[in-house]
Every structure is written in C-alpha cells, then in structure tokens.
C-alpha cells in the first residue's frame, strides 16, 4: 500500500440533499483524510473540460447540465491506496447497482445522479487535482 491522493466531487444532487456530512463521514471512516476542500459552482466550460474524455458519449450533455445545476464540493482525499479505497467507498457508478454501505447506495439515485465522483487512476487523480486546486491550496500534513 502506498500513500496517494485522489480527487473527489460531492455532486449537485448530494449538496442539494444536505448530505455533505454523511459523505464525509463515510470517507473518513473508510480511512481517507480530507487535505483540501472547497464549495464551488462549475461553469459549463469547466464541466465540459473536466469531463472531456466523455464528450462523444450520448449522456455527455445531460451530465454537463447536471453538474452545473448547483454547487459542488471538490476535495483532495489522502490515504493508503486512496484512489482505489475511495472507489470502494463510493460504490458502483450506477447508484442502483451500488452495494449497501457505499456512498452511492446511500445517497445516489441512478447512473447520472450518483452523488460523488472519484478519480479512476493515478494519472486522472493528478490531472483532476491540478484542475481544481493550486499548489497553495494543497495542505501538507506530514
């Protein structure tokens, strides 16, 4: 196991449902530490750029509409194998298929309104962290 950082987004559905705390609780109990966090409202351009890899998928325009419908919370999570640990805590992308106890099972609705995003690889984590956080905003704990 190695210490990693990953990018997490509490999506507009979860912010609107007032469950940021419930999500943070699951992340912390799962062994992850929040080392940077802020609430922002994505612009359409930002959302399109963040999700650029999906631009040709049929769900892209609905995904962008959803991600800009209200504020989100972006977080840097740190911990042992943080990228895979966070994906385990989040559960399956489709909330309807997510295992009991996961964030998406507890707080998501379906494949689109799935409460959270988490980086899916080391390369994605580096890109996504740099997308939202400047060096000055990254807290060094050790």
Known catalytic membership, residue 105: no
92 lies in the binding site for ligand CMP (CB under 6 A): no
Cα distance between residue 50 and residue 63, in whole Å: 11
Separation of alpha carbons 9 and 116, rounded Å: 5
Pick one of 59, 96, 99, 137: the residue that binds ligand CMP (CB under 6 A). 59
Task: Dig out the tokens for 52 from the structure.
Answer: 């650029």
Find the shortest distance in angstroms from Cβ 13 to ligand CMP. Answer: 10
Structure token pair of residue 15 = 């912010």
Q: Shortest distance, CB of residue 42 to ligand CMP, whole angstroms?
A: 12
Residue 94 has what DSSP assignment? Answer: S
Near ligand CMP in 19-48, by CB under 6 A: none
Sequence-distant (6+) residues with CB within 8 A of 53 are none
Q: Active-site positions?
A: 117
Q: Which stretches of the chain bind ligand CMP, using CB under 6 A?
A: 54, 59, 63, 93, 111-112, 114, 117
């Amino acid at each position: 196991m190695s210490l990693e950082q990953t990018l997490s987004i509490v999506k507009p559905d979860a912010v609107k449902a007032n469950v940021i705390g419930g999500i943070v609780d699951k992340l912390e109990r799962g062994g992850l530490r929040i080392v940077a966090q802020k609430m922002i409202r994505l612009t359409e351009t930002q959302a399109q750029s963040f999700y650029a890899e999906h631009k040709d998928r049929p769900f892209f325009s609905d995904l962008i509409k959803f991600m800009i419908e209200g504020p989100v919370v972006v977080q840097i999570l740190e911990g042992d194998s943080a990228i895979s640990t966070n994906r385990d805590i989040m559960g399956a992308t489709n909330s309807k298929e997510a295992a009991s106890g996961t964030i998406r099972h507890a707080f998501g609705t379906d494949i689109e309104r799935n409460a959270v995003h988490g980086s899916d690889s080391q390369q994605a984590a580096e890109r996504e962290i740099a997308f939202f956080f400047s060096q000055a905003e990254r807290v060094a704990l050790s």
